Structure 1
Amino acid sequence: MVVRCFHVVQRCICIILILCLVFLQGTDSSDKVKRKRRAVPLDKECEQSELTCQPDEQFRTMDGSCNNLANPRWGMSNRLQNRLLKNVYDDDKGAPRAEGCNSKLPLVRQVSNIIHAAGETSDLDYIRSQFIMTFGQFLAHDTNLTPMVEKDSGGDLECCGEDSDNTECHNIVIPEDDTRFKPGECMPFSRSVGRLDCNDVRQQVNMQTSYIDLSMSYGKNMEESSNLRNKSGGMLNAVNPGDYLPVDESPKKCELRVPANPPSIYCPKSGDPRATETPVLASLHTIIHREHNRLAEALAGVNPSWSDEQLFQTARKINIGQWQHIVYNEYLPATIGSEKMEEYGIDVKPSGHHDTYNESMDATVFNAFSTAAFRFGHSLIPQALSMVDFDFSPKRKAEELKNHFFKADLYHTYNKLGIEYLLMGMANSPCPRFDRKFENSVRQDLFFDEKKVGEMNAFDLPALNNQRGRDHGLPGYNEYREYCGLPKATSFSELVDHLPDVAALLENAYDCTDDIDLFVGLVTEKPSKGSQVGPVTQCLLAQQFKNLKDGDRFFYERQGTGGFTPDQLEEIKKIRMSTLFCLNTDAKKIQGNMFLRIKRADGKKGSCYKDYFSELEDCDNMTGVNIYHWIDMQQP
């Protein structure tokens, strides 16, 4: 009896299994396809072939290789970024950070709405000019380019469309109470290109060289550099008269509102695909481009027997030396402050060589710098662009920035003086204050596309930044407080480097202090004394710029192979950003320090900030390097 019952039960189970199988076969297979995510295999970067280096080479390689002779791949382009702290991927291997202390992390757009919304008017910096923001963006493009995953055939993934099942899409969800975008609407987000390290953990790639070497102007490898060169007299290609950036024959992002008609109107090209992200950025590219050609022409005048290659590399070397000096002598003091620079040993000396090179220092950009810390400048982006003539008179009504992302029209205005008027406008305008607030130009209307009606037509920059940090598995803000020698905050009231009202907003957005995204924690800090930014931001910036200085065998203050002579270095150290601006434009006057606001002619200097303002100087009195210190006595 027991045996017979067992067989009956067994038969019933079989019948149930068969019925279940029939049911599953009868379901719509398309539903299963929709639920299934399409995984994309990652390349692996671990053991690689050795590079052959020339220890006596006088010039940098274009891709940054062989800068460090013991570790030739340190700092070169197309390499994995470093990390200061271990990743916090959800699976420890590559899944984006999503889990918080109690539940899922808050939606990044929700965080943006709570914390980063700006008011009707901007809070302004009493000390710094708007130029500091553009310069910082230009510098960021020199040290980092983190590519996003694209289609196999090229082009952006359509993460809210046909590629939505691709695991490399990690779209931003719009919250129910959003007032700019439709609740539930999809804001596309493609993950950063990843490769597996030797432990099979996903790491992000830096396509740029890490070094401060103007790779955003000269290109990040030999092929890109060759395409930018004129192959004669050491010059870069240019549109003349006027030495403007060359024509991009096949622009991927740049757009024009009228048909291209070179040399009158066209999409300009430089060594970085982001050169036309804003017309002001393209204008700064042009200044550095012109300076190279000005130097090459001067060198050819005193060294008539030099080849195109020698003229090009020497002009590039001088240009990079000047660029590095401006970064460490003007930009960083105005950003992280002279005190912090001295603490980290990254202050440069008024004269003479100063060799701090450390062969064991890896200059490779670290992830927390490129993905969070050096994005602090996003809070400085203005709502509109001003154009000011050489007499500091407005040329036109301020242009809404949202209408000029990857648009080249302003670059060509006023008989090609548009680039100079744009930069004059930045130098003449006060910088938005470094704080939690982001202008609508980037929080509500980033990359605004007027052609898209009834669909997602813009992005949110702080939301993108936070999603990118989670994509990269960056630990939260609290972990970096500890890294920088500051106590972790165990409650929101212990966020002592944040104003109380800001700490309250953070508590409204996050369940606990450990959940605070790194980028959010950084841009909500109170600025430290003598600094534009807060203490953890200072720490991360200072550490990276120390690595970039002490880990660069060709840093401009070094003596010896590849270095400048004492006389040449003295010439380099007299150069300021204002020098390059005056030498390469028709400007009459500019403040001596373009990163600071102009001292008013009526004597009102801004109360307690009066010592920080910069006097206007005559461009006629500014001179470049004395090129005679580069005469080759060996030439026939």
Structure 2
Amino acid sequence: MLLSSVFLLFLRTSVSYGSLYDYYSGEPVSSDLLDFYETNGLKETCTIDIKPCDPNERRRVDGSCNNLKDPARGTFFAPIKRILPANFSDGNKPRKAESGKELPPPREVRLKLLNHTLSSHKVLNNNVPGFGAFVFLDIGSLHDNQNMLGKTTYCCNADHLNDYACTPNLISENDPVFKFTGVRCMNSTRPLTYQDFKCTQNEVPSPIKRATTSFDLSQIYNSKGEGDQVLRSFKGGELAVEEENGALFPPNGPTASCPNNVKPNETRCFEHYFGTFVSVSLFTIWFVRHHNYIASELAKVNPCWNDEMLYQTARDINIAFYNQVYFYEWNTAVQGRNYLVENGIISKDKGHRYLYDDTKSPEVTLDYTFILRFFHLMQESRTMLYDVHGNFIEEFKTFDASFRTGLLAKNMSTFTQSMFRAPCHGGDGTVDFELANFAFPGFQIAIDALAGDVNKCRNFGLPPYVDYIRHFLGIEINSFEDFKTAGLMTSKKVRLLKSVYDHPRDVDLIAGEWCAKNMKGGNIPLITANIMNDNTLRAMKSDRHWYECENRPYAFTEKQLKEIRKSTLASLFCTTGDGVTEIMKNAFFNISPKNPLVPCEKIKKINFKAWADPACKKNNIKCTEFVR
């Protein structure tokens, strides 16, 4: 407590140090705190130098100045907030059961609650978990996985089981998968926190975030926190790309890492973007290409625009396109349109919406970035590959394509077809076998991604499941039967929970959602939707550059916003997808009589004439500003 008080004293009583801000507090760095950081070599890690904000400027790639009152909130390394207070035991250790005993081991929880089954979703396809993972990178970060797979890989070594950095998932001797293998441990690490980086003396562990706070395609325009200068070609407003096998890809580079590429033939590896899971790599390629498609279309209607004009306008449109797809298509697929309208996430109208509230601070919740792990239940470990005509080619192990972007250079069309032609996993309370046992081939002998989710739930200090039910629904859960009485679970799922946990307050958030019914009109449980919407509303209202607002800097005109409303995943596939000539109008749903394949010519696309600058129609006139 003394250290915490001293740290706060630094912030409140010392002289401000200009434009240098403290990442953790979001406040200007005092001279005393700066001395502390410099003495301990922490200045580069714990502070950010922010240029003075201009109320009329465009969105910054580092997330700064999104709120003019709190310029450092929303930046790349800004901390995550919590919906509910942290719940730890003995300072920063995972919480205990109500009885005071240890909670059941994560692997045991997963084995009892989720069976291994090959299952196909009746409604949704691979784009749902795939696009969800891509969105996660925009507001979350992969540092936990990177740490576990690349740096702290030794947690199952007998000499390191109890290291502070390690929280391994232990495997019992009678494990149904590994009992004859001798494998008794799965590597897992403690989340990295601002305390680990010594950027705060606050005693409650605060996991780090390496992404901007707004839904601003930071995984494209500020990937890895490098900014956009390293990404641009500085020609025609486009991002830098390279051609291989007649297709365009993000550039290779000497520091790029694709450990699962098969040498010497697989050489494609992104220098400045994340090349992790195959779906993330695909959407990264498509949105880079989409930016350049937009820039080229803008250049056609505005031949007098220079590179900067084209780039900034293309970026603005690309971000708006992405948000239109995420909020109006993807969220509708998982939550249902009526619930989103009722909660103010989307609008029935096609016009502008006044959303910005400068009292709202741009902050992502830990609960939101965590609950997106629920979509592991929809993740397939089998990729069904098709040719451009929809003929089945072969089945491919999805995880064999992880951290292996080189595989895509010669197989883009078949992987592209698999995203919209094949259903995702069933979403029926089962899990794919590979995901639950061998999720990261090439890195670890055995990884249960779902048991890892239970482990992270506890390591993050997330409260029990029943606390979220009380917070969002106002319902008190005092017995296991109350889950059924509240309409949240079936009797079968309640019995499963009772076989794992001794008390309803012991139930982990993620485990509770595994057992919960889907919400009315949607394909996910209600608490998952509420956690998502809590963050979504905050993100929209705290973003002064939100694309639907008409009073933001360089706001879309009514005519331009009408064109943005045409944004669909289907149009993304038709403009950037390799070999895509036909697709469903709603590309998150399976092919069906109500959602048939149609030629790309019938898919609505943005008409960029809405951005035509009148100045460009005059001979020898150089444009001086963007169309507002």
What range is the shorter-chain TM-score in? 0.7 to 0.9
Structure 1 segments unaligned to the other structure (5+ residues) = 1-42, 601-612
Residue 566 (structure 1) aligned with residue 525 (structure 2): no
Change (3 A) 1:270 1:596: farther
Residue 592 (structure 1) aligned with residue 575 (structure 2): no
2:467 aligns with: 479
* 8 Å contact kept, 1:149–1:192: no
Change (3 A) 1:111 1:388: same
Q: Distance in 2 between matches of 1:131 and 1:506?
A: 31
Q: What are the equivalent positions in structure 2 for 1:594-609 lying under 5 Å apart? A: 594-600=587-593
* 8 Å contact kept, 2:167–2:188: yes
* 8 Å contact kept, 2:123–2:589: yes
1:232 aligns with: 235
Q: Distance in 1 between matches of 2:23 and 2:162?
A: 23
Q: What are the equivalent positions in structure 2 for 1:146-295 lying under 5 Å apart? A: 147-148=143-144, 155-161=151-157, 164=161, 166-181=163-178, 185-196=184-195, 199-220=202-223, 223-240=226-243, 241-260=246-265, 265-269=267-271, 271=273, 273=274, 275-278=275-278, 280-295=279-294
- Tell me which of 602, 605, 608 is aligned to 1:627: 608
1:70 aligns with: 69
- Tell me which of 618, 629, 633 is aligned to 2:599: 618
| Amino acid in the other structure paired with 1:487 | I
Residue 463 (structure 1) aligned with residue 451 (structure 2): yes
- Tell me which of 113, 116, 119 is aligned to 1:118: 116
Change (3 A) 1:576 1:402: closer
**CA displacement, residues 179-217 of structure 1 (integer Å, 9 cap, x when unaligned):** 333567232212111124564321111111121111112
Q: Distance in 1 between matches of 2:515 and 2:182?
A: 26
| Amino acid in the other structure paired with 2:574 | C
Q: Distance in 1 between matches of 2:66 and 2:483?
A: 41
1:320 aligns with: 319
2:495 aligns with: 504
Q: What are the equivalent positions in structure 2 for 1:383-422 lying under 5 Å apart? A: 383-394=381-392, 396-413=393-410, 418-422=411-415
* 8 Å contact kept, 2:256–2:272: no
Bigger drift between 294-303 and 134-143 goes to 294-303
Q: Distance in 1 between matches of 2:474 and 2:494?
A: 17
Deviation of the 1:365 alpha carbon:
1.3
SS in 2 for 1:431: strand
Q: Distance in 1 between matches of 2:182 and 2:490?
A: 31
**CA displacement, residues 146-189 of structure 1 (integer Å, 9 cap, x when unaligned):** 523988xx934532347555312112211232133356723221
**CA displacement, residues 242-270 of structure 1 (integer Å, 9 cap, x when unaligned):** 22222243333442123156xxx422355
* 8 Å contact kept, 1:149–1:168: no
* 8 Å contact kept, 1:270–1:285: no
1:605 aligns with: none
**CA displacement, residues 529-563 of structure 1 (integer Å, 9 cap, x when unaligned):** 10111121121112111122222111111112232
Q: Distance in 2 between matches of 1:295 and 1:398?
A: 34
SS in 2 for 1:484: helix
Deviation of the 1:335 alpha carbon:
0.8
Instruction: Calculate the aligned-residue CA RMSD, in Å.
Output: 2.5
- Tell me which of 519, 526, 544 is aligned to 2:510: 519
Equivalent pairs, count: 561
1:132 aligns with: 128
Change (3 A) 1:131 1:542: same
Q: Distance in 1 between matches of 2:341 and 2:99?
A: 38
Deviation of the 1:301 alpha carbon:
3.1
* 8 Å contact kept, 2:258–2:405: no
**CA displacement, residues 111-143 of structure 1 (integer Å, 9 cap, x when unaligned):** 111112223x31x33222222121111111112
* 8 Å contact kept, 2:53–2:71: no
* 8 Å contact kept, 2:139–2:215: yes
Q: Distance in 2 between matches of 1:44 and 1:176?
A: 45
Deviation of the 1:64 alpha carbon:
1.0
- Tell me which of 74, 91, 94 is aligned to 2:92: 94
Residue 548 (structure 1) aligned with residue 539 (structure 2): yes
* 8 Å contact kept, 1:216–1:270: no
Q: Distance in 1 between matches of 2:476 and 2:186?
A: 33
Identity of aligned residues (%): 25
Deviation of the 1:44 alpha carbon:
9.0
Q: Distance in 2 between matches of 1:251 and 1:76?
A: 24
- Tell me the TM-score normalised to structure 2 length: 0.84
Bigger drift between 197-206 and 129-138 goes to 197-206
Change (3 A) 1:336 1:248: farther
SS in 1 for 2:453: helix
* 8 Å contact kept, 2:470–2:476: yes
Q: Distance in 2 between matches of 1:231 and 1:489?
A: 58
SS in 1 for 2:424: strand
Change (3 A) 1:97 1:291: same
**CA displacement, residues 423-470 of structure 1 (integer Å, 9 cap, x when unaligned):** 322211223232332101210110023xx8xxx512001111111111
Residue 343 (structure 1) aligned with residue 342 (structure 2): yes
Q: Distance in 2 between matches of 1:229 and 1:47?
A: 29
SS in 2 for 1:228: coil
- Tell me which of 96, 105, 108 is aligned to 1:107: 105
* 8 Å contact kept, 1:578–1:594: yes
Change (3 A) 1:229 1:47: closer
Deviation of the 1:221 alpha carbon:
7.1
Deviation of the 1:346 alpha carbon:
0.9
Q: Distance in 2 between matches of 1:492 and 1:614?
A: 40
1:430 aligns with: 423
Change (3 A) 1:511 1:295: same
* 8 Å contact kept, 1:90–1:99: no
1:45 aligns with: 24
Q: Distance in 2 between matches of 1:226 and 1:213?
A: 16
Q: Distance in 2 between matches of 1:442 and 1:355?
A: 42
- Tell me the TM-score normalised to structure 1 length: 0.83
SS in 2 for 1:202: coil
| Amino acid in the other structure paired with 1:488 | E
Residue 448 (structure 1) aligned with residue 441 (structure 2): yes
Change (3 A) 1:269 1:179: farther
| Amino acid in the other structure paired with 1:615 | P
Deviation of the 1:318 alpha carbon:
0.5
* 8 Å contact kept, 2:381–2:397: yes
* 8 Å contact kept, 1:174–1:183: no
2:377 aligns with: 379
| Amino acid in the other structure paired with 1:348 | S
**CA displacement, residues 282-341 of structure 1 (integer Å, 9 cap, x when unaligned):** 122111111101111222333334332322221111000111111111111111122221
| Amino acid in the other structure paired with 2:122 | Y
| Amino acid in the other structure paired with 2:347 | V
SS in 2 for 1:267: coil
Larger radius of gyration: 1
Q: Distance in 2 between matches of 1:400 and 1:538?
A: 30
* 8 Å contact kept, 1:77–1:208: yes
| Amino acid in the other structure paired with 1:203 | S
Q: Distance in 1 between matches of 2:612 and 2:23?
A: 48
| Amino acid in the other structure paired with 2:481 | S
1:607 aligns with: none
